[in-house]
A and B are shown apart, each in its own frame.
Chain A
Amino acid sequence: MWSLYPIAVLILVFMAYLGNAANSGPSIACTDPAGALPDPWIFVAGIVAVVVGRLTAWPRYQDVPPDKLEDARLEQPMQSRILGALALAGFFVAAAAALFFEAVAVENVGGVAPITHYIRCAIVYDKTGSTHGLVTYAVVIVVCYLAGHWLWSMDRAQPSGPP
């Protein structure tokens, strides 16, 4: 599936561009005089993306007879299972690191603010900057679409092993 390579490059380019743009932002305080937040419309866009993700999963994942499910799991090679386990471990390590940072910030150690504050500031500066909130919409829609697509499946089954 060659179409994944441009997506990977695109994500890296966006990460570099946005990270660089954020570095030219505020360094002392984060304020929202324009009232960019709260914004219920981005929240609604996220909910709609979850539902669309659920609906678009229906034609993709086809029915598989229950007796074939176990066969498909057994056919998976050991390397594939190891990769799934490593991916899951990586996810938990990242989540644990984020929670550790949050705990340190909430305890007000080291002069860092909670992650929530940085995320809200990023949204405010995206909405009030030259991108007019498009990056926030894009990230919320992509994450919510994937969540609806993968976690809120239609009533169908497909062959797969454990993650």
Chain B
Amino acid sequence: MSFSTGISLVIVFVFGMLFGIVVLDIICDRMGWPPIGQRVHAWARANVWFSAVFLLTLWTLLAHFLLNPVH
């Protein structure tokens, strides 16, 4: 796979996830259901340690991507 294709796939993956969240929020809003954010928020409150692990994983990945040179 060429690097341009790989970079395009990364872009589609990241923006596709964000687009999916927005579409789900639109559906929830139209149907009068709790939005995605509220559900995740409720889950995080009920599972503090799991959400802490998620956040630590995010920070670790961020550091992994940004604080290392391209080899």
Instruction: Report if A25-B4 is in contact (Cβ < 8 Å); known contacts: A80-B28, A121-B70, A161-B34.
Output: yes
Q: How many A-B residue pairs have C-beta atoms within 8 angstroms? Tell me.
A: 196
Asked if B18 contacts A80 (CB within 8 A), the reply is no
Which of chain A's residues has its CB closest to B24's CB? A87
User: What separation, in Å, do the CA atoms of A92 and B59 have in the docked complex?
Assistant: 19
Q: Contact flags (1/0) for A128-163 with B, using CB distance below 8 Å?
A: 000000000001101110111111110001111111
Taking CB atoms, residues of chain B closer than 8 Å to A19 are 8, 11-12
User: What separation, in Å, do the CA atoms of A123 and B40 have in the docked complex?
Assistant: 29
Asked if A43 contacts B62 (CB within 8 A), the reply is yes
Taking CB atoms, residues of chain B closer than 8 Å to A4 are 22, 25-26, 29
Asked if B18 contacts A11 (CB within 8 A), the reply is yes
User: What separation, in Å, do the CA atoms of A11 and B25 have in the docked complex?
Assistant: 14
A38 within 8 A of B: yes
Q: Which of A84, A120, A149, A161 is the one whose CB lies under 8 Å from B37?
A: A149
Asked if B34 contacts A159 (CB within 8 A), the reply is yes
Asked if A5 contacts B26 (CB within 8 A), the reply is yes
User: What separation, in Å, do the CA atoms of A121 and B63 have in the docked complex?
Assistant: 15
Q: Which of B9, B15, B62, B70 is the one whose CB lies under 8 Å from A144?
A: B62
Smallest CB–CB gap between B1 and chain A, Å?
A: 5
Taking CB atoms, residues of chain A closer than 8 Å to B55 are 50, 147-148, 151-152
User: What separation, in Å, do the CA atoms of A46 and B5 have in the docked complex?
Assistant: 26
Taking CB atoms, residues of chain B closer than 8 Å to A23 are 4-5, 8
User: What separation, in Å, do the CA atoms of A151 and B47 have in the docked complex?
Assistant: 9
The 4 closest A-B pairs by CB, nearest first: A160-B42, A118-B6, A15-B15, A80-B33
